[in-house]
Amino acid sequence: MIAESLAGRDLISLLDFSPGEIRALLTLAAEVKANPGHFAKALEGKTLFLYFEKPSLRTRVTFEAGMTQLGGHAIYYSASDGKIGVRESVEDVARNLERWVDAAMCRTFSHELVADLARLSGIPVINGLTDRLHPCQALADFMTMQEVEEDLAGKRLAYVGDGNNVAHSLMEAGAKLGVHVTIVTPEGFAPSEEVVRACREAAGETGARIAVGTDLSLVEGADAVYTDVWASMGQESEAEERRRIFLPYQVNAALMRRAGPDAVFMHCLPAHRGDEVTDEVADSPQSVIFEQAENRLHAQKAVLLALIGAA
């Protein structure tokens, strides 16, 4: 049972979960989406703490709405209210939170901060995004891809752009689910070699292939083409230079034609239209970007149900 394996666990990296556990989360997310009323009081009396160093439309709204729709409550706390590790030590914050709330979601720059909170507290800690990983996004992405493809094993996802936190979590999830993930970046912007090695090791269990390169021909035959902004939060000063370097890697109609004939277009949003993707692609019938955004709600509700122990 999913509750037996995941209750009380943290979600920091998807590599910490077995393929069966990730598939169970996706199955639960589909059940939540299909029958929301069935789970309307599942987290009644439960409280989720939301810590934000980086603002986000999707992360904040989907976690707050998710807790409300499950009968629970969410408390929003931003770095401007008091940055964890600055105003008060990480250890002291962790020991306070475990006495007040049932789980914490953190969206931060430092990956180590989220990992430390998870290590030091006795409640589930959820990685809502760090500079290293974005596991909640990847769960919603593969939920969306599964809705289109049904069986994920053996499917091909090509990510084009910066080898960032989203790229890392797509590789992690793909490795666990048997999806072949290819990361295509300009020279010098490849994903972390450490993350790539870990994902390739995990892929040995499922037969997934993890590939990294700079040649856009690697998109050929893909079932999904994915991109993200070229300059993430904290990289604003690099935006113009990155635009010059990344422009040949724009996802446009010509690039989509190089993918499989039924390939979908994916983006975690927000999108800088005209940069990493054209309007023609973002608004095309191939685009599932708003389905991904919707599925953030359902996938995160599944995570909350499983980790808090109501599933």
Catalytic: which of 58, 111, 134, 168?
134
Taking residues 81-108, report their average pLDDT. Answer: 97
The CA radius of gyration of the chain, in Å to the nearest whole number, is 19
Strands (E), the chain: 47-52, 73-78, 103-107, 125-129, 156-160, 180-184, 210-213, 224-227, 264-267
**With 60 as the cut, is the pLDDT of residue 294 above it?**
yes
The per-residue pLDDT for range 148-174, each reduced to its tens digit, is 998 999 999 999 999 999 999 999 999
21 band by pLDDT with thresholds 50, 70 and 90 = very high
CB 209 within 8 A of CB 232: no
CATH code 3.40.50.1370 region(s) in the chain: 2-134+296-308, 137-292
Question: Measuring CA to CA, how many Å separate 74 from each of 46, 119, 172, 289?
Answer: 9, 22, 28, 26
Residue 283 appears among annotated catalytic residues = no
Architecture of the 137-292 domain: 3-Layer(aba) Sandwich (3.40)
CB 212 within 8 A of CB 182: yes
Place of tokens 């037996």: 4
Residue 38 appears among annotated catalytic residues = no
Cα(150)–Cα(244) distance, rounded to whole angstroms? Answer: 38
**With 70 as the cut, is the pLDDT of residue 1 above it?**
no
% of the chain with per-residue pLDDT over 70: 98
CB 292 within 8 A of CB 140: yes
Q: How many CB atoms lie within 10 A of CB 280?
A: 12
CB 4 within 8 A of CB 18: no
Under DSSP, the state recorded for 263 is P
Catalytic: which of 9, 23, 58, 107?
107
Residue 268 appears among annotated catalytic residues = yes
Closest by Cα among 143, 99, 144 to 123: 99
Taking residues 34-54, report their average pLDDT. Answer: 97
Residue 119 appears among annotated catalytic residues = no
Q: What residue type is 282 in one-letter code? A: A
Residue 296 appears among annotated catalytic residues = yes
Architecture of the 2-134+296-308 domain: 3-Layer(aba) Sandwich (3.40)
124 band by pLDDT with thresholds 50, 70 and 90 = very high
Catalytic: which of 116, 228, 250, 298?
228
Q: Quote the pTM value.
A: 0.96
The per-residue pLDDT for range 72-90, each reduced to its tens digit, is 999 999 999 999 999 899 9
Catalytic: which of 137, 146, 250, 292?
137
Question: Measuring CA to CA, how many Å separate 135 from each of 91, 106, 170, 278?
Answer: 24, 12, 8, 26
Catalytic: which of 10, 296, 298, 300?
296
